[in-house]
Copies of this chain bind each other. A is one copy, B any other.
């Protein structure tokens, strides 16, 4: 049964097209595609990605990996510098019997907590300009060597060029990731270690990334897209596959209140965003304020304005955090709503 508003709907035709386009790009470039499953957290979407040519999936947490391994996914990269306590270590020991697992390190101290997982594949995280986790590129080889001494199996490097999430930053981020990954590969060579995997990826940079040095892409958001990607001109409105169905519950002049708030679309708002999400069918409207259950929407003087009780489609700024708020996604096509998809990895933070 379709729930009352607000709920998250997915346009299956657009979703499939987004999956197909990214797979084609990677195939043309000779790059493996390992989509980040934190965006959708659901078996159904992961299976569409894999049958569309993805080589495996990326996740952010052990809990997400456990969920997807249960679904039979046989190749999972946890793209996060884990720090293992005894409980997390025990979970990973169990997990690596079920799936081919690759882990991430950015410090020798962190690597030491993974050491009991003898010969587990690890990628060295490098900082390509986002300045979050990751070592400087030229230090990757040295860390790989130390990891090998701990009996880990360093097979390559990865980065997240997250500084691509800003206006006009895409080309710079692509150059940065290429240059940083090139440095990292050289540092592996200096240590005499084979760098088999050179992995990167963000939705803004993905389609500008070329094959050659880079062996693997890990975009996440592209499956659904969102208001951030729209405003950064990384997608068109007709490439947005997910929105919150919401109802106009209050109206005063050109101001509407929708029942879709931060508990359904999330509170992400970058400094460059024009509002707290966008209305798919009213491109000129702006969400000027967001409470937990209220979106305040302003319309221009010449706009057509929805009426009280009307349904509208609200595109979240950041789709990953929106999906993480709900237990189910409602796939919709010409024939109406189909059976909901469970967001099985929702809330699997640890």
Contacts and interface: CB of A to CB of B under 8 A. Distances in A.
Nearest to A266: B267
Contact of A249 (B4, B5, B81, B247): B81
Interface in A313-342: 318, 320-321, 324-327
A296 B163 CA distance: 14
A254 to B, nearest CB: 13
A80 interface: yes
Interface in A5-39: 5-7, 38
Contact of A4 (B62, B269, B347): B62
A68 to B, nearest CB: 16
Contacts of A294: 132-133
Contacts of A264: 349
B85 A4 contact: yes
A193 to B, nearest CB: 22
Nearest to A292: B320
Contact of A309 (B109, B134, B327): B109
Interface string A286-323: 00010111101000000000001100000000101100
A249 B110 contact: yes
Interface in A247-287: 247-251, 255, 257, 259, 262-264, 266-269
A83 B251 CA distance: 12
A61 interface: yes
B250 A110 contact: yes
Contacts of A134: 250
A205 to B, nearest CB: 16
A263 B109 contact: no
A150 interface: no
A129 to B, nearest CB: 13
Nearest to A84: B4
A83 B259 contact: yes
Contact of A347 (B5, B82, B257, B325): B325
A269 B60 CA distance: 23
A141 interface: no
A203 interface: no
Contacts of A268: 262, 267
24 contacts: A1-B87, A3-B87, A4-B62, A4-B88, A6-B349, A7-B350, A38-B293, A80-B249, A80-B293, A83-B247, A83-B248, A85-B247, A107-B308, A110-B250, A110-B308, A131-B255, A134-B250, A262-B268, A264-B349, A266-B267, A267-B321, A293-B349, A324-B325, A326-B349
6 smallest A-B Cβ distances: which pairs? Answer: A133-B250, A267-B267, A4-B350, A109-B308, A83-B249, A60-B293
